[in-house]
Amino acid sequence: MDHSPDSDRAPGRDFVRRIVDGHVAEGRYDGIVTRFPPEPNGYLHIGHAKSIVLNFGLAREFGGRCHLRYDDTNPLTEDEEYTRSMQADIRWLGFDWGDHLYYASDYFERMYEVARGLIRDGKAYVDGASEDEIREARGTVTEPGRPTADRDRSPEESLDLFARMRAGEFDDGAYVLRGRIDLASPNMIMRDPVFYRIRHAHHYRTGDDWCIYPLYDFAHCLEDAFEGVTHSLCTLEFENNREIYDWILDAAGFQEPRPHQYEFARLNLDFTVMSKRKLIRLVKEGRVSGWDDPRLPTLAGLRRRGVPPEAIRRLCVSSGVTKVNSSLDPSALDYHVRDVLNPVAPRVMGVVRPLRVVLTDWPEGHRELLEAPFFPDRDDSPTRRLPMSQGLWIEADDFRDDPPDGWKRLAPGREVRLRHGYVIRCHSVIAGPDGSPMTLHCTHDRDTLGRNPDRRIGGTIHWVAADGAVPAEFRLYEPLFSVAEPDAVSEDGDFTDHLNPGSVEVTRGFVESAVVKTGLPAEATDGRVQFERLGYFTPDPDSTRTRPIFNRIVPLRDSWKGGETKQLGTPTKATRAGPAPEPIHQTDDDRIAPERRAAREADPWLAARFEAYREERGLSTKQADLLTADRATATFFESAAEAAGSDADAAAWIANDLQGLLSDDGVAGLAVDGAAVGRLVARVRDGQVSRRAAKDVLAELVRDGGDPDAIIARDGLAPVADADALEPVVREVLDAWPDKVAAYREGSTNLMGLFMGQVMKRTGGRADPALTRRLLEAALASDP
């Protein structure tokens, strides 16, 4: 039986799911069991989230279970603090292990006995060579290894020494236990790897009971086998370890069906580091405020910054499960954050760098209450009362003494509209001691409250009335590092040389009272809000009603495009002791494809579309760049978006799923138009076809053209969510597996995965999973 990750190449599914599909179809395992096995020596980061989402998601999809297991075999680095933080992070992401929480340290005795068995069988020996001697004797990639003096030690002598190692008779490094495998193997890992080492150190769980500890390669596969794991999913750096994984299980006598290892590409992000060693150093050296510093990629840091867990899950899913390592730009996560928060975050106003405005024609002491919706795009939006008085605060970035061409905000002699309020005109500027504007004197037009189509105003700005404004602190975050790959340093350099001194700016401004005092609507999610024209923000854990503190989750792009790309709220200097240089990092505009940029420079129509896709349709820069590669692509997207009823969904399908199916001719060479693709996207969103099935439909549309609805109907791809239709299938499955049904009723509940898989197989994967599980549980609970 071929267990390699490339053994199944059926279309429409990632390679891991195709493998599991095959195993479920042939009934290889009683149920699907995965595991997430972190070492508790630091905090989880977004790279771990990919593995969490894959392992827990796979188990959930196939009706199995996922174990949380701590690989705690190194007493020098592990701590209970990390186990607690990891459990909190996994639950925050939306997953739970139920009763299946395990520790490698619980298996120390069983592992020890397995090691003794290998020694008795002549497959392992105790070696007294030093670490350097062992390394030198292993040879090189072009030269075979050679045996050390102890390789021919007898099993009896090795068993005696191994027992004395455990008893604490020897110092650290005096002996190790090695596998006796193949010193000429082209895989260096197979050249008699070390299985056990002596380490006199206090373990956070077992105390001083043990002074020998198994290494990862020996322990990991045994833990999987002890727990009945079926699919051991690792990242690509463990690809060469698969051979030793199989060797140990075979040598220890584990029979099929047993666990097998499969590797996938990890999730990497630019402008940060994922190495636990480097993250620990950042924390211990005080380069960041702690493990939950919002600039870190740790899940604790992302949670404090206000990133919703759903956005992280979406990023992990959208990045795919592949065998090719790559690195994502942080804007990929920002896109999902905005997509999640856009429908649920109330729109309110705040000013991060306040500039005072006095309305000289406003009646002194007069105060008005203006009605403003929390969700301007919704007809049923709840509202709040906005106070307006003679004194206002506006954003300092919204005023220029000497504005450039195309400036649409406030300037001497110019008008702007206050959001939800009146049009004001600046007639004089009072400068401060340094010559910069300190107070603006303006007038307001009483006839401009609300929309006035006959009055053309250059722009609209946000504001807060001085009367009733709540002082607040804002923490504006940028990437922690100034280069995309801080690990790629010169030989004499260090990754900390690339820390971005402008990665956080702390400002003090004002927010409207609804944010703190009068309250947000029920739709608000954990206090997250969109400060209009600034971005999405969340209260920091240190925030109080009397001293509110807001962390910026992600910014919004500035609406002005007159030659300036700076975003409102982007730091201009670092707020830390001593002078600091300007932050050096790439903007979204720096990363767009040069050939597509050139095409837009030559075609104003494309250039206008590019800006409209970002500013009006809310697409990411990368999506807008891809969709304006040429006029055909832009037209295709707009047709798809109209048919789909969603710009974001259409853009995601074209940018992600369709791209891999295109020839060199692009969309111009397709047999299908944008409207048909848009209709398919709409069917997915409305639940009329699964995303998995829709990918197959898309492939046929690209190849042969046609109508998606006709293909869905022809192939019977509509989901089966009718209990009357599924109950006969459930009964057929249970009748076909009477011995498994009996075992389930006797307590082997992990067989639910087998039953789920069989129902899915008989329905071509169209059975509604939740309904199927309920029907199976009901049938299995009934009397036989």
Please tell me which residue in 13, 28, 39, 323 is annotated as part of the active site.
Answer: 39
Q: Among this protein's residues, is 39 annotated catalytic?
A: yes
CA nearest to 462, candidates 513, 420, 406: 420
Cβ pair 566, 583 in contact under 8 A? no
Look up residue 495 and give its two tokens.
Answer: 């990754």
Instruction: Give me the residue label for tokens 């260096």.
Output: 188
Secondary structure of residue 427 in the 3-state scheme:
strand
Count of alpha carbons within 13 angstroms of residue 626, beta-carbon side: 18
Q: Residues 492, 362: contact at Cβ < 8 Å? A: no
In which residue are the tokens 């609300």 written? 450
Give bridge partners of residue 34 from the DSSP assignment: 66
Contact present, 429 and 403 (Cβ < 8 Å): no
Please give, one letter per residue, the 3-state secondary structure of 343-400. Answer: CCCCEECEECCEEEEEECCCCCCCCEEEEEECCCCCCCCCEEEEEECCEEEEEHHHEC
Tokens of 389: 């008085």
CB atoms < 10 A from the CB of 732, how many?
13
Q: Which helix (H) or strand (E) holds 88?
A: helix 80-93
Q: CB of 34 within 8 A of CB of 770?
A: no
197, 276, 528, 679: the catalytic one is 276
| Separation of alpha carbons 554 and 297, rounded Å | 14
Q: Are 263 and 6 in contact (CB under 8 A)?
A: no
Q: Distance between CA atoms of 655 and 652, rounded to whole angstroms?
A: 5
CA atoms within 13 A on the CB side of 763: 27
Q: Which residue in 205, 225, 223 sits closest to 214, CA to CA?
A: 223
CA distance 130 to 381: 72
Active site residue 517: no
Is the separation of the CB atoms in 525 and 344 below 8 Å?
yes
User: Facing residues of 393 across strands?
Assistant: 356, 464
Phi-psi region of 440 (alpha: psi -120 to 50; beta: other; left: phi over 0): beta
596 is catalytic: no
Structure tokens at 198: 């002596």
| Beta-carbon count within 10 A of 1 CB | 9
- The values of phi and psi at residue 127, to 5°, are -120, 130
Distance CA 623, CA 628 (A): 9
Cα–Cα distance, 72 to 317 (Å, whole number): 28
Contacts of 452 (CB under 8 A, 6+ apart): none
| Spatial CA neighbour of 299 closest among 326, 274, 318 | 274
CA R_g for the chain: 31
Half-sphere exposure of 484 (CA within 13 A, CB side): 13
Helix (H) or strand (E) holding 102: strand 101-103
* Spatial CA neighbour of 230 closest among 65, 107, 73: 65
Instruction: Write down the catalytic residue from 266, 313, 600, 614.
Output: 266
Element (H, E) at 108: helix 108-120
Locate 779 and state its tokens: 């049938």
Return the active site residues. 39, 266, 276
